[in-house]
Amino acid sequence: MRLQIDTERNELILFDGATEQRSPLYSARAFEILSELWVKVGWHEKYSYGFSWLGRPIIQLPEDLIRVQEVVWSVRPTVIIETGVAHGGSLIFYASLLRLLGSGRVIGIDIALRPENRRAVEDHPLGGAVTLIDGSSIDPEVVARVGAYLTPRDTVLVILDSDHSYRHVSGELAAYAGFVTPGSYVVATDGIIAAFHDLPGGKSGWQTDNATRAAADFAAANPDFALVEPPRPFDESRVRRSPTYWPGAWLRRVR
């Protein structure tokens, strides 16, 4: 594939083999094409490694953070479960949203939580709202520990952000979907790696070994869940496909 941007004619030209597609440069279609390339180049250059939330590195695409806060506002969870902790920025982000809503707690699970990151999260002003669990997110004992923190009155949102392989995400979906409250979501993040298989440092296997495929297969086999993008509370944009690392990630529990 080859792209040509003509700023004199305000035109974007996409060459794919013998096929040529032309779009006005200032159009939703051109934005989507350029955004896909921007996301790929940004991933290679570690663009998402340049952000923090209330002092903790967050390592997320800002567009995805805005979308998930819309869901938190809509669903009003009392518990957010996140697999994969890294520096803890996402945990603090979710804890801050729940604090604004008035109450709630976050549970973070990681198989290799660094002591310095644990200390930073626990010592954070919002650390009291975060519970950290060491271990594999698909270990039955870890899953049971998570379940012990929940009550029938809780509204639960689950975000899967650890190992993004098909097998691991499928295991996480099987383990945590039962915790999700009807009307809430389990989110299988970072399936965008399927589009990164041809990048320097990418892996050809990512085309099928990814979270997006795991989410699609889970939805097909589980009628209690629907693979659907959350509704946008405000949308006057002409763009239908926004930049994201989480394509096909949102599984809503419908019953």
Q: What is the pLDDT of residue 21?
A: 92
Distance of CA 56 to the CA centre of its chain: 18
pLDDT score for 31: 97
Question: Tokens standing for 201?
Answer: 């440092």
Token representation of residue 250: 């949102």
Q: Is the pLDDT of residue 162 over 90?
A: yes
First-to-last alpha carbon distance for the chain, in angstroms, is: 43
Q: Check residue 116 and give its pLDDT.
A: 97
Residue 1 has pLDDT above 90, yes or no: no
pLDDT at position 197, please? 95
Q: Tens of pLDDT along 80-124? A: 999 999 999 999 999 999 999 999 999 999 999 999 999 999 999
Residue 57 has pLDDT above 90, yes or no: yes
Q: Taking residues 131-141, report their average pLDDT.
A: 98
Secondary structure element (H or E) that encloses residue 21, with its range: strand 19-24
Instruction: Provide the token pair at 131.
Output: 């519970």
At 17 the pLDDT is 83
Per-residue confidence (pLDDT) for residue 16, from 0 to 100: 87
Element (H, E) at 142: helix 140-148
Instruction: Report CA dihedral (53, 57, 58, 63) to the nearest 10 degrees.
Output: 70
Euclidean distance between CA atoms 184 and 148, whole angstroms? 19
What does the alpha-carbon distance between residue 231 and residue 209 come to, in Å, rounded to a whole number? 28
Q: Chain centroid to CA 185: how far? A: 11
Indicate the Cα dihedral angle 225, 228, 232, 238, nearest 10°. 180
For the chain, what is the mean pLDDT?
97
Q: How many CB atoms lie within 10 A of CB 231?
A: 9
Query: What tens digit of pLDDT does each residue of 8-48 get?
Result: 999 999 998 889 999 999 999 999 999 999 999 999 999 99
Alpha-carbon torsion, ordered 89, 193, 249, 117, to 10 deg: -20
**DSSP states of 151-165:** -TT--EEEEE-S--S
Residue with tokens 């819309």: 70
CATH, range 52-253:
3.40.50.150
Average pLDDT over residues 51-62: 98
Closest by CA to 224, choosing from 173, 169, 167, 188, is 173
Mean pLDDT of 212-241: 96
Q: In what order do the strands lie in the sheet with 79-83?
A: 130-134, 105-110, 79-83, 156-160, 185-188, 250-253, 225-227
Distances 132 to 185, 186, 204, 248 between C-alpha atoms, Å: 21, 19, 34, 28
In the chain, % of residues over pLDDT 70: 100
What value does the mean pLDDT take over residues 235-253? 96
Q: How far apart are CA 30 and CA 102, in angstroms?
A: 42
Residue 213 has pLDDT above 90, yes or no: yes
| pLDDT over threshold 90, residue 125 | yes
Report, as an integer, the average pLDDT of 149-159.
98
Structure tokens at 165: 């392989």
Cα distance between residue 162 and residue 142, in whole Å: 14
Q: Which helix (H) or strand (E) holds 35?
A: helix 28-44
Domain ranges of the chain: 2-44, 52-253
pLDDT tens for each residue of 62-72: 999 999 999 99
